[in-house]
Copies of this chain bind each other. A is one copy, B any other.
Amino acid sequence: MTVPQHETTTTTDRPRLVAEPHRDGVDTAVAAARRVIAALLRAGDGSGADMNAIAARLDAMADGLTEQAPAIEERLAQMWRGQGVTRHDPVTGPENALAPPLHLHGKDDGSVEGVVTLDLPYQGPPGHVHGGVSALLLDHTLGVANHWGGPSGMTAELTLRYLRPTPLFEPLTVTGRQVSVDGSRIRTVGEISAGGRSCVTVSGLFINKHLPRPS
């Protein structure tokens, strides 16, 4: 259900795959929030940290931000206007603290690629990446690959094969490539590899349609 409706740059007429960072903006705070997520999990209970005091500070911060935020309808419309569309997703979005983030770039052969190292919050089996996190990264990467390589659309079917455990704390290469377009049916493949060895492969069927953007 990935719908990467990225902006087209006016200078190159190629789609923009990565949002431009907003220095001194929300991106800076989101990067720090990612550090807090990992540090909370790293500390756990029994570290001696005063978790009630930390909770109170975070709650006050959330209250303040929510007070200043636009109405949800307005914010949704804003998100889906212009460059906003690449800024908020949970895989690459600089405004979304859930995103590692994965930085994808388009290649001349029509594929997209990115390298990411995942920390404790993305753990499934001991010391390894959660299989569902791999699925999340790959679904999104296929969506971006469609946008880069040809028509894009919504996920209709996704098949993932887990060949070996995907390690945490090591650079992972994530790739995607559109392989065929038959009417509205788009087929796209991708992979996560570590140290040159394939860990997870994916094959997706996408349908060339999009949900309306809120306005």
Q: Residues of A with Cβ closer than 8 Å to B? A: 1-3, 22, 24-26, 28-33, 35-49, 51-52, 54-59, 61-62, 64-66, 68-70, 72, 75-76, 78-80, 87-91, 95-98, 120-140, 143, 154-162, 165-166, 210-214
Contacts and interface: CB of A to CB of B under 8 A. Distances in A.
A96 B119 CA distance: 12
Nearest to A80: B126
A68 to B, nearest CB: 4
Given A35-B59, A52-B24, A62-B32, A140 B136 contact: no
A213 to B, nearest CB: 5
Given A49-B68, A54-B61, A55-B31, A154 B125 contact: yes
Contacts of A98: 37, 98, 121-122
Contact of A66 (B43, B72, B210): B43
Contacts of A154: 125, 131, 162, 165
Q: How many protomers of this protein does the assembly include?
A: 2
B32 A55 contact: yes
B130 A139 contact: yes
Contacts of A59: 32, 35
A139 B75 CA distance: 31
Contacts of A161: 156-157
Contacts of A70: 43-44, 47
A62 to B, nearest CB: 4
14 contacts: A24-B52, A32-B58, A32-B59, A37-B97, A39-B62, A41-B96, A42-B65, A44-B95, A91-B132, A125-B211, A130-B139, A131-B154, A136-B136, A157-B161
